[in-house]
Structure 1
Amino acid sequence: MTEEPILELRNVTRTFPGVIAMDDVSIGFRAGEVHAVIGENGAGKSTMMNLLAGELQPDKGSILVDGQSRDIPSALASQQLGIRIVFQELSLCQNLTVGENVLLSAFADRPPLSFLTRNRAAGAAAETLARLGLTDVETSTPLSTLSVAQQQLVEIARAISQHVRILVLDEPNSALSPRESARLFDVVRLLKAQGVTIIYVSHHLEEVLALADRISVMRDGRMITTLDNGADVTVDRLVAHMVGRQVDAAEQYALRPEAHARIGEPVLEVRALSVPGHIREATFTLSQGEIVGVAGLPDSGKDILADAIFGLAPRGGAVEVGGIRLPPGRPSHAIAAGMSLIPADRRAAGALLSMTVAENTVSAALKRFTSRGFLRRRTMRDTTADYVRKLDARVASLGQKIATLSGGNQQKIILARGLVTGPRILILHEPTRGIDVGAKAEIYAILKELAGQGLAILMISSELPEVMLHASRVIVMADRTIAGQLTGSDITEEAIMALATRKDRALAA
């Protein structure tokens, strides 16, 4: 491994209205290393990735590749330098096949009026997929039929399908099972051995310690430190650099609901719920003041559960709110009955990226903010300001585009939008995906407070600590149905995984 960086940011500054996203940042990445970049939401990581992707340009400073200053005015220019970026929010084409998605970058690099036979394309795509262990996925499969975890691996396959010198992975493990994660780590190590530079952006500090050769910490748009990974580098030390103070486990996870928490009457009843090919015969209830977690492996059916209940996916069986049965395929009826959904994919299904903080906050309850066909903008601003204060969202102004916020603050504004409708039931799918430890603790505290006010909360998550520590009851799905439910001291990682993998039928009974 050479000491000279293959890629370097030198004294880079990038500002947005009212925000210094990167402040005189210098960092170098060596060939053939795994270099992790960590920090809380808003630290500047996303801005750095967008600069490398050609989506943004630095106000000051320079980007050097092989020691030469380079302008990166576009995504194509970035790719021509051998840089490939896999963002957390997927950028795949749902109307194309798996193989077509994998080879999209190859099509962009081909000269005009050139041809690529379907057989050659399918063979090339299959070879790339095999490197990621996706041998059970046909290249002709429509992408829209895959789980979020499988789509994330397809996104990575597309990135490595062409010549790559620098691979940037943004929260690549956020929706993967342990087995898929292990395969991903193997691929990272293989690419490293081949001389590829891996820039690994993640909030999962344990995996950072397991993979990275060096770790850089950003805070408030500044580069705090770069550490050689070794025995003296611990999770506690990294967290202290990230937040500027020591944060212990008790502070992070002091929110576990007590088993004797006051639970009211059932408000949501799901009976024999089915979604063709995804869920069969799922039955459970959700009561006032209750936080119920839903866990399971990616192919268990949990990832479509929220859409099915809310009316976004075709379903059989019955969904009742307050004893009133909701028709399938009608989200408007779910909203009218007092249900609110916070989706897993902030970019595709959550945030209205081209709109402002205020517009996003009130968009699900526009009738409350209109008079004779005109928006009551003062009421919009007052309501938004109230929720920004309650949820402690960090925004430069209410007119700021939500696309420019950090992931954690985007999530808070999406949560505000759900709360503006005055729901009785709040369904959250991956509520803290890609969010740092500080923002997670804030959101957990908000959920606990909402439950204390009588809101019924269903939290569907791929992160076991999230459901173990913040739900009073955990529903575990496996093989497209509910394998069992756990409460109190029975909520352990071993018990959840036993149900999720169907290793212990006695628990399911």
Structure 2
Amino acid sequence: MTQQPIVELRNITKAYPGVVAMDGVSIDFRPGEVHAVIGENGAGKSTMMHVLAGEVQPNSGSILVDGEETSFPTPLASQAQGIRIVFQELSLCQNLTVGENVLLGPFGAQRALSLLNRNRAARVAAGTLAELGLADLHTDTPLASLTVAQQQLVEIARAISQKVRVLVLDEPNSALSPRESQRLFDIVRRLRDQGVTVIYVSHHLEEVLGLADRISVMRDGHMITSFDNTPEVTVDRLVTHMVGRKVDKAEQYSISAQAGDARDEIALEVKNMTVPGAIRDLDFKLSRGEILGVAGLPDSGKDMLADAIFGLVPRDGAVEIGGILLQPGKPSHSLAAGISYIPADRRGAGALLSMTVAENTVSSALGAFARLGFLRRRPIRDTSAEYARKLDTRIASLGQKVETLSGGNQQKVILGRGLVTGPRLLILHEPTRGIDVGAKAEIYSILKSLAADGMAILMISSELPEVMLHSSRVLVLANGRLSGQLTAADITEEAIMSLATKHEREAAA
């Protein structure tokens, strides 16, 4: 006998100007299951999560909880039913400590003027962190000092610290190392065994097959199919459902970046670069026409590298772009020297969400579109249209707000903004985080084309297949130092992980 769903959506439709995000979508979630929801960017997954969160109101359809029809007019109404959502784009308070962020959940809803028992609060926060395997992370640690991967685990800790019946995870391991991902999977299974419903939204199809009890596939705002996860279900089958056709693995992963004809010309040189607490005595060179990948564990220093080169954090040592010595701590100097930087936090630091596609595209080079202090709208429109066409950005219009786009199309808009300046060096940190297989292939193709035209590209990523298959050369960092570099056939997952953990193995020997 099939269990009564804890939450059910029936014939949900949500339309925005120019696009129908959800078109008559029906889906149910049962108690004590891991239910994966997959689909390409723009499939409607994000809209469905926002409906569940009470942040978006559907145009039509019904929401049922425990078989009773209800509605979520506000996020608080959703939370009152025990629904907690951890979005890929983090919602933590950077000015608070780790413990304070965890406690925003269970203690944030206390009555006004009530007193907070700080000792009890600290025990709750420490206990929740310990459950996530983060017992060594002190509750007094400033959140801003953590890596994106560590912050993502803190976000999950905040969610599970509350009385949760349904936990929705949006690309939860997009910035986690394999070890941290395995820890997350163990937590998901434990919550499932405790009767919690886990809705798992991910583009990592192998992990979906290893974790989910049921799988639902969305495409173009429609629910395509739902089925039990059995041994007969394969990645190829999932991809076929997602894109509506068979996709050859070669089509997904064969785009390999190679150095262009200008590879003997040095575009970037880093000498003895040190960032306190993160990077020590780092030296490397990057040539024109080359895609240089950077890999390493979350505490390796790789996540601080781009900020240090671009001048966002204090550093020692020398950074030269095209022979020009960059002044530390001055991003404006880096921009003027020809560096464009696409950060990992797409929504927080990358896109201007409330602004239009056109405004985002030209925002890094407004001086080129102004005359006598006034912006020239026609050149802005023409340039934005050109980059939307070049990058195949799927938009209703240039006036569409970026916050309404899928993750993959947001990333293309940010990439277009970086290219408008005509950079010598393009730095990308987690360039395809949270993007589906189709959009990833498009991004990789764009990067390959840019490298072929002579652009130097520095790609920092936590996804080993991305680094392995789309880099001319790979630097591996460990404990803030260069552990080694790999080229051509030597670039394998085993070789990267061996270098990434070399210092740990040496310390244990």
Taking structure 1 as the reference length, the TM-score comes to 0.98
Quote the residue 2:457 is aligned against.
Answer: 457
Match of 1:435 in 2: 435
Which position in structure 2 is the counterpart of 1:95?
95
Say yes or no: does 1:45 pair with 2:45.
yes
Note the alpha carbon deviations across 1:307-342, whole angstroms, 9 max, x for none. Answer: 000001111100011111111110010000000000
2-structure distance, mates of 1:450, 1:319: 22
SS at match of 2:106: helix
Give the CA deviation at 1:106: 2.1
Which residue of structure 2 lines up, in the alignment, with residue 84 of structure 1? Answer: 84
Q: How many angstroms does 1:258 deviate by?
A: 4.5
* Pair 1:3–1:73, CA change in 2 (3 A): same
1:388 partner amino acid: A
Residue number in structure 1 paired with 2:359: 359
Shift of 1:237: 0.2
Contact map agreement 2:478 2:503 (CA 8 A) in 1: no
- Specify the SS of the correspondent of 1:125: helix
Matched to 1:47, the amino acid is T
CA–CA separation in structure 1 for the residues paired with 2:491 and 2:2: 48
In structure 2, the partner of 1:54 is: 54
1:410 equivalenced with 2:410 (yes/no): yes
Superposed CA offset, 1:224-254 (max 9, x none): 0001100111000000000000012111112
Q: Over residues 456-478 of structure 1, what are the superposed CA-to-partner deviations in whole Å (9 max), with x where a residue is unaligned?
A: 00000000000100001000000
Distance 1:2 1:120, change over 3 A: farther
CA contact (8 A) 1:499 1:505 kept: no
Equivalent AA in structure 2 for residue 318 of structure 1: A
Q: How does 1:340-489 map to 2 (within 5 A)?
A: 340-489=340-489
Q: Does 1:182 align with 2:182?
A: yes
Cross-structure match for 1:494: 494
- CA RMSD of the aligned region, Å? 1.4
**1:2 touches 1:31 (CA, 8 Å); kept in 2?**
no
The answer as to 2:274 corresponding to 1:274 is: yes
CA 259–364 in structure 1, closer or farther in 2 if over 3 Å, else same: closer
1-structure distance, mates of 2:375, 2:147: 39
- Summarize the Cα distance change of 1:298–1:261 in structure 2 as closer, same or farther, 3 Å threshold: farther
Residue-by-residue CA offset, 1:147-196 (whole Å, 9 max, x unaligned): 11111010000001110000000000111111111111111011101100
Unpaired runs of at least 5, structure 2:
none
Report the residue type matching 2:267 in the other structure. Answer: V
> In structure 2, what residue type is equivalent to 1:182?
Q
Mapped to 2, the partners of 1:257 and 1:83 lie a distance apart of: 43
- The residue that corresponds to 2:331 in the other structure is 331
Contact 2:260–2:288 (8 Å) recurs in 1: no
Matches within 5 A, 1:137-152: 137-152=137-152
**One-letter code of the match for 2:493?**
E
Q: Is the contact between residue 258 and residue 448 of structure 2 (CA under 8 Å) also seen in structure 1?
A: no
Hey, what's the Cα distance between the residues in 2 that align with 1:257 and 1:348? 29
In the alignment, is the contact (CA less than 8 A) between 1:259 and 1:488 conserved in 2?
A: no
Tell me which amino acid in the other structure corresponds to 2:25. Answer: V
Give per-residue Cα distances to partners, 1:367-413, cap 9 Å, x unaligned: 01111111111111100000000000000110110000000000000
Give the stretch that moved more between structures: 370-379 or 85-94. 370-379
- Equivalent in the alignment of 2:234: 234
Aligned partner of 1:14 in structure 2 is 14
Distance in 2 between residues matched to 1:65 and 1:371, nearest whole Å: 57
Aligned to 2:162: 162
Q: Would you say 1:312 and 2:331 are equivalent positions?
A: no
Change (3 A) 1:331 1:258: closer
State the alpha-carbon separation in 1 of the partners of residues 117 and 4 from structure 2.
Answer: 42
Q: Give identity over the alignment, percent.
A: 73
2:283 is the counterpart of 1:254: no
Could you tell me the TM-score, scaled by structure 2's length? 0.98
Distance of 1:77 and 1:280 partners within structure 2: 49
Contact 1:341 1:418 (8 Å CA) reproduced: yes
Deviation at 1:109, TM superposition (A): 1.7
Answer whether contact 1:340 1:419 (CA < 8 A) is retained: yes
Task: Identify the range of structure 1 (495-504 vs 79-88) with the bigger mean alpha-carbon deviation.
Answer: 495-504
Structure 1 unmatched ranges of 5 or more? none
Offset at residue 261 of structure 1 (A): 6.6
Contact 1:37 1:215 in 2 (8 A): yes
Aligned to 2:211: 211
After TM superposition, give the deviation of residue 74 of structure 1 in Å. 1.4
The letter for the 2-side match of 1:291 is I
Q: CA deviation at 1:63?
A: 1.1
Cα shift at 1:65? 0.7
Give the secondary-structure state (helix, strand or coil) at the position aligned to 1:32: coil
**In 1, Cα distance between the equivalents of 2:259 and 2:57?**
52
Q: Distance in 2 between matches of 1:134 and 1:123?
A: 14
State the match for 2:222 in structure 1: 222
Look up the SS of the partner of 1:101 in the other structure: helix
Moved more, 461-470 or 100-109: 100-109
Report SS of the residue matched to 2:42. coil
Whole-angstrom CA distance in 1 between matches of 2:218 and 2:376:
40
Asked whether the equivalents of residues 18 and 396 of structure 2 are also in contact (C-alpha less than 8 Å), the reply is yes
Listed one character per residue, the Cα deviations across residues 436-465 of structure 1 (whole Å, up to 9, x for unaligned) are 000000000000000000000000000000
Displacement of 1:260: 8.3
Q: 2:304 and 2:34 mapped to 1: Cα distance? A: 34
Matches of 1:385 and 1:339 in 2, distance apart?
23
> Displacement of 1:259 after TM fit?
7.2
Provide the C-alpha distance between the structure 1 equivalents of 2:505 and 2:27, rounded to a whole number of angstroms: 52
